[in-house]
Amino acid sequence: MDKLSIKKTARLGCALLSVFIAVGTASPSARGWKYYLEKGRLQYEGGMLDFAIFNLGQCLDANPGCHEAANMLASIYIKKNRKSRAIDYYRRSLEIDERQAEVHYALGELYEFFIEREAAFRHYARSIEIDPEHLKGHASLVRFYLKRDDRASAERHFRTSYRLARAKTGALFERAREAEKKGDLARARDLYAGVIDEAPLFIEAYIGQYEVNRRLNDYASAAAALERLKFVKPDHDRAYLLLGYIYFNRRLPGSRKARLEQAIDNLKKAIELNPGNYEACISLSE
């Protein structure tokens, strides 16, 4: 165990001890749901997930209206890759308090994972009804409206999400660009990843990550950045163009035939989105 882990464990132990001292002499009925909530929260934050599940469950048994415990249990089950169980707890949380934008967004992600698109759409839409500046909610709605061929709505949500992204992560993006200019490519890559995690429609961050990975000769990661950009902004023709170039010109893991087919598919999509894309036409002819 390294020093950082030892310190973290010690802090957790001290925090738990303070809880035990505060309520240790109280009767079981006097402890109540708050005791189990606090204990479960500390265990959750310390990575003691199975213990946290027990205590948060005790909290909900004592107080079925504690949505905070339900949310933490949902988060734990996501970490444990038990997404169906997580859905159960998020739904329970919304039954307690329906006006939780972040929970609606989280449920949207889970339903989208299970390809329940209509349910996902409803929860993403509800997240921005509750919080009109929910950046990720707007970002998710862009791809849904594009699939519905409602480009006007997609563009409206894109503009809102991009504006919020600039406000929230603009400074972090500039730090990434500065690191890239200085040649600190590993740091730039990490900073661009941070921007993307916080602001999924900050398009320039994906392109920055692509460029950094390309300079590092890590073409698999460069392609992964563009594939993620394609997912969040399915009408971004430059992402398809660059992917076509990578899959055609660079050796990547996997079948060469499959990569060539990916190159062709991406270049065709780039041309479909932008028929005047001369570069895509030339690359496809090659």
Question: Going by C-beta distance under 8 Å and a sequence separation of 6 or more, which residues neighbour residue 258?
Answer: none
Residue labelled with tokens 């169980």: 85
Contact 67, 90 (CB under 8 A): no
Place of tokens 């946290």: 52
Which helix (H) or strand (E) segment is 169 a member of?
A: helix 151-181
CA distance 189 to 212: 6
pLDDT of residue 253: 87
Q: How many C-beta atoms lie closer than 10 Å to residue 18's C-beta?
A: 12
Residues 245 and 237: their CA atoms lie apart, in Å, by: 13
Q: What confidence score (pLDDT) does residue 25 get? A: 44
Contacts of 131 (CB under 8 A, 6+ apart): 101, 137
For residues 199 and 169, the answer to whether their CB atoms sit within 8 Å is yes
Average pLDDT, 10 consecutive residues per value, the chain (286 residues) = 50 50 44 90 93 95 95 97 97 97 98 97 98 97 96 97 95 97 96 96 96 95 96 94 92 90 92 87 84
For the segment 196-225, what is each residue's pLDDT rounded down to a tens digit?
A: 999 999 999 999 999 999 999 999 999 999
Q: What is the pLDDT of residue 251?
A: 85
The Cα–Cα gap between 60 and 69 comes to 7
**Nearest alpha-carbon partner for 269 in 226, 211, 215:** 226
The structure tokens listed for 159 are 């503009």
pLDDT at 9: 52
Which pLDDT does position 13 carry in this prediction? 52
- Token pair belonging to 149: 């061929």
User: Using an 8 Å Cβ cutoff, are 201 and 165 in contact?
Assistant: yes
- Answer positive or negative: Cα dihedral of 249, 254, 256, 262: negative
* CA–CA dist 147, 214 (Å, integer): 30
Residue 254's pLDDT is: 87
Distance CA 240, CA 229 (A): 9
Instruction: Decide if 38 contacts 16 (C-beta within 8 A).
Output: no
Q: Which long-range contacts (CB under 8 A, 24 or more apart) does 202-206 make?
A: 202/162, 202/165, 202/166, 202/169, 202/173, 203/162, 203/229, 203/233, 203/236, 204/173, 205/169, 205/173, 205/176, 206/239
- Of 164, 225, 175, which is closest to residue 199 (Cα–Cα)? 164
83-96 helix and 101-113 helix, angle to the nearest 10 degrees: 150
